[in-house]
Structure 1
């Protein structure tokens, strides 16, 4: 499974100037349309935004702080969800961890810590290592394992591949807006090939912000 469709190594060679996505986002430059629109859960003027990501993806790690700040800023305007792609299949330990933390209401506490453990502290995201990590970070092991093995979590884990198939997402990070529009660093970066990753992440979030504003006005 791919992270980004472009060569990220090339992006790190050239520093870029600040980039601002146009207030009127452009199809093919700032976003693309999904081949098959998907149902959304947002109601009224709120806009659904879904991030497809993986904990071990380096590009998701770069995007994460920019995205987290944006979600707080637009919390009154959006319904935000994440879907962890099952990189190793139906029993992917990272996806399993995400769904378990979500079910326990521990994501706000643990989400950024998982990224740090993998990308800064160089933890290998195997099942034993991830379980040991959350326990060392104060999560009750018995409750965690009960949730890990629960019917609800196992059912959601098995459904992940069908979600990916429905949205036809094959790289991360990917952001889907209103069940029909998609943006990502790879989309934004296609027309800005000299950007470094931090600038590209900022540009992606600016594009996301403009797309959400545009969609909200059309509701």
Structure 2
């Protein structure tokens, strides 16, 4: 997989285009992340799916190197997830290749394979440099990792997966997602690694937005 920011990958936001790095010490002096710089408030709120909790949504693409770089920080953050916060991943769909990987994600989810295959699929693309761009590629990958590749290929064409993909597109549009990785909070805010100043700072901004959402 070519990792350069090409026409094919323009929706995968490069950190070279990031805003100036936000550092905790500077943020303390400013009173925290700054609206309009480190995060955006949605003009039209989106109804969160997690009732009674603050919802955090990660918009991503398996082929995006910056999403791959963010993944360890997602896992670190999830390890300390507060009881009143719900998290979900939503694959973006800007191009046919994004849409294909979107169906892979929801097929994994439908078959209970996300826990075992989500990170491995990322690694196969960005570490092993495999081109997982056809159903045959995906089926072979799944089979090599101890699951039923044919079932995953079938699930990718199922009514439920197509429906989930359609809902994901609607949510991405509602949040105004135009690049990945991007993070939405409680249907009211969005931020990104670029806005935060790096993948290592993205969840510092998310934590701030979670606090804002708690305060209503």
Q: Distance in 2 between matches of 1:120 and 1:6?
A: 19
Once the two structures are superposed, the pairs formed by residues 59-208 of structure 1 within 5 Å of their partners are 59-89=66-96, 92-127=99-134, 128-189=136-197, 200-208=198-206
Deviations 1:112-157 (A, max 9, x none): 1011100000011212212211121111134323422221012222
Q: Which has the higher contact order (CA 8 A, sep 6+)?
A: 1
Change (3 A) 1:43 1:163: closer
Deviations 1:21-69 (A, max 9, x none): 547432123211113210012233x210011100010100111110111
Q: Distance in 2 between matches of 1:139 and 1:88?
A: 28
Q: Distance in 1 between matches of 2:69 and 2:97?
A: 26
Unpaired segments of 5 or more residues in structure 1? Answer: 190-199
Deviations 1:158-216 (A, max 9, x none): 34433322222110000000101011112122xxxxxxxxxx21111111122213322
TM-score by length of 1: 0.81
Q: Distance in 2 between matches of 1:156 and 1:6?
A: 30
Match of 2:59 among 23, 48, 52: 52
Deviations 1:59-109 (A, max 9, x none): 001111101110221152311111111242398221110010011121111
Match of 1:212 among 192, 210, 213: 210
